[in-house]
Amino acid sequence: MSEQTTSTASKSGKAKWIVIAAILLFIGFAFKFLLPSGYSNDLSRIGKGQATLVHVRDNQTVQSHDLLAVMDGIRDHYADQVEFMLVDHNTPQGSGFMATHNALRTNLVLLDAQGNLVKVIHAPQSEESLSQEIDAMLSGAK
């Protein structure tokens, strides 16, 4: 009888680990596919000859997710002229960037090709309004 109990316990132990492994695998895939892709967080690239738009991201706010959708909508149009970046407000890098540029969570920061601050944008509502800001920066840089 105890051999059967040990066998059952062993099977339930294996099943438990299989379920845990499956959950961890699912979480890993979810992070890979749900996190924004194609956005650098390498702020050392700012000022290297291309204008930059940095989204100070707060993943806990709807505003931040909405801004990311707006950026996604126009990014391809400006791909040759503007580098689109994300920085998390909750990291030392993000906090330093915010302090340097007087930016808040969920702001967009426009920087010219030399890395000079052009404007801090407070949550544009549409792709059109963000495009107007970028166009104004690009035309002023010429």
Question: For the whole model, what pTM was predicted?
Answer: 0.71
Do residues 131 and 139 touch, judged by C-beta distance below 8 A?
A: no
pLDDT digits (tens, 9 = 90+) for 92-141: 999 999 999 999 888 999 999 999 999 999 877 799 999 999 999 999 84
38: tokens are 């194609």
pLDDT digits (tens, 9 = 90+) for 16-31: 888 888 888 877 665 5
Where do we find the tokens 């959708």? 69
Cα→Cα distances 5→10, 16, 129, Å: 8, 16, 67
Q: How far apart are CA 63 and CA 61, in angstroms?
A: 5
Fold of 43-141: Glutaredoxin (3.40.30)
Unique residue bearing structure tokens 């963000």: 130
Query: Which stretch of 20-24, 49-53, 87-91, 112-116 has the lowest confidence by average pLDDT?
Result: 20-24
Give domain limits for the chain: 1-35, 43-141
105 by Cβ neighbours in 10 Å (0-12 / 13-18 / 19+) ranks as middle
Is 72 exposed, middle or buried, given 0-12, 13-18 or 19+ CB atoms closer than 10 A?
A: middle
